[in-house]
Amino acid sequence: MKIICIGRNYSEHAKELGNSVPTEPVIFCKPDSSVLPRSNPLYIPEWTNDLHYEVELIIKIDRLGKFIEKQFASRYYSSVGLGIDFTARDVQEDLKKKGLPWEKAKSFDGSAVIGKDFISMDDFPDRMNIRFELKKNGVIVQKGNSADMIFDFDSIIENTSKYFTLKIGDLIYTGTPSGVGKVEVGDVLEGYLEGKKMFRVVIK
């Protein structure tokens, strides 16, 4: 199983980090060891002083494909979940300055939170109008809607499958809306997809 992530897919988030809005999806990957086991806390790694949450919609691939055309892309995923792409922002900024890859900042153990359920796309009247939010210690810190994605699900499938064979069970994190921020020891993060609770993560 591999995890493909899309960066800067919401223009307000690109702007809040001082990045330009991309004309091509920004892509990076997380290894399977990055998945935080369900109900485990996340321990802040000792090598970062600025660990950020990024709540994201996740699509799950359920059909093998390569060079998928956009018009057929919706045949390759049928459900959506919610997760967190944890990011060591200080490390990422340093790597960005040096023009180096981001994996140390984004692909470490526990950096990928995956909510307990994936919900069938058929359960949403419009897949381009899916609401989600993240609460930190009970307060909403991020609010997103798939309508605001720069690259929609089908465009992401088309683009990523040019580079990677998409396999059954692969996950694609589709980018985070604005409102990312730092976590501290003791924080509790809860993700909601259309009002339904999908995960709870305690920071240690």
Cβ neighbours for 162, distance < 8 A, ≥ 6 positions apart: 67
Site membership for Zn ion, residue 176 (CB under 5 A): yes
Closest distance to Zn ion from the beta carbon of 185 (Å):
22
Cα–Cα distance list, 66 to 3, 26, 169, 204 (Å): 16, 18, 15, 40
Cβ-closest residue to Zn ion?
85
Question: Rounded to the nearest whole angstrom, what is the least distance from the CB of residue 43 to Zn ion in the complex?
Answer: 20
Using the minimum distance from each CB to Zn ion, give the nearer residue, 8 or 127. Answer: 8
* Helical (H) or strand (E) element with 47: none
Looking only at the bridges linking them, the beta strands covering 55-61 and 77-85 are antiparallel
State the minimum distance, in angstroms, from the CB of residue 110 to Zn ion. 15
Q: Which is nearer to Zn ion, 9 or 161 (CB)?
A: 9
**CA neighbours closer than 13 Å in the CB half-sphere of residue 73:** 17
Nearest CA to 14 among 175, 202, 182, 194?
Answer: 175
- Minimum CB distance to Zn ion, residue 75 (Å): 25
Instruction: Return the number of the residue (65 or 111) whose C-beta is nearest Zn ion.
Output: 111
37-96 binders of Zn ion (CB under 5 A): 54, 85
Q: How many residues bind Zn ion (CB under 5 A)?
A: 3
Whole-angstrom distance, CA of residue 121 vs CA of residue 193: 12
Minimum distance, C-beta of residue 176 to Zn ion, in the bound complex (Å): 5
Q: Which stretch binds Zn ion (CB under 5 A): 35-43, 70-78, 169-177, 186-194?
A: 169-177
The answer to whether the CB of 51 falls within 8 A of the CB of 38 is no
Instruction: Please give the DSSP secondary-structure letter assigned to residue 66.
Output: S
Per-residue binding string, Zn ion, 104-143, x by CB under 5 A, is ----------------------------------------
**Which residue is it, tokens 């210690």?**
137
| Interaction site with Zn ion (CB under 5 A) | 54, 85, 176
